Amino acid sequence: MATDLPTQNYKNHARAVPLFHYFALPVLGANVVWTVVRLVRQPSIDTGFGALLALSLLLVALYARTFALTVQDRVIRLEMRLRLRELCPPDLAARIPEFSRAQLVALRFAGDAELPALARKVLDEKLENRKTIKSMVQNWQADHLRA
């Protein structure tokens, strides 16, 4: 991994894509508002179609992001199952199917040395909240390749 990447931890790990989150989405949202205002002021087939098109464009952007994050979560789930199988004692490895997607996604930041104990704690205490699990990680493993 490149050395110019910032140190990642629980407080700064959330990823925002500036052109998507701070430009494209606001522009698409403003476009929806503007076309709906135009539709209300000047109802016609043209303004109605414009509003539908604007809403469709916003939905395409939101769904594209959701689809990418879902695929990312599936890959993380697979990666974590492999890591857990490799790192955990047999009794805990047998419990890998008990993990939810949210638990596995949160556990991915744990270092190899702490992963087995943290994984056991997550299962035994039935912890589901991603933030809670991530905040328990002591040896944070950065993930700079997230969607």
Residue 145 maps to a domain: no
Residue 10 maps to a domain: no
For residue 50, give its domain range: 18-135
Whether pTM exceeds 0.75: yes
Residue 66 maps to a domain: yes
Residue 30 maps to a domain: yes
Residue 77 maps to a domain: yes
Domains in the chain: how many in total? 1
Task: Kindly report each contact of residues 62-66 with a partner whose C-beta sits within 8 Å and lies 24 or more positions away, as own/partner.
Answer: 62/25, 65/20, 65/147
Residue 64 maps to a domain: yes
**For residue 66, what pLDDT band results from cuts at 50, 70 and 90?**
very high
Q: At residue 110, what are phi and psi to the nearest 5 degrees? A: -75, 140
What's residue 6's pLDDT?
73
Q: At residue 140, what are phi and psi to the nearest 5 degrees? A: -70, 125
Residue 91 maps to a domain: yes
- Helix/strand number for the chain, H first, E second: 7, 0
* pLDDT tens, position by position, 15-42: 788 999 999 999 999 999 999 999 999 9
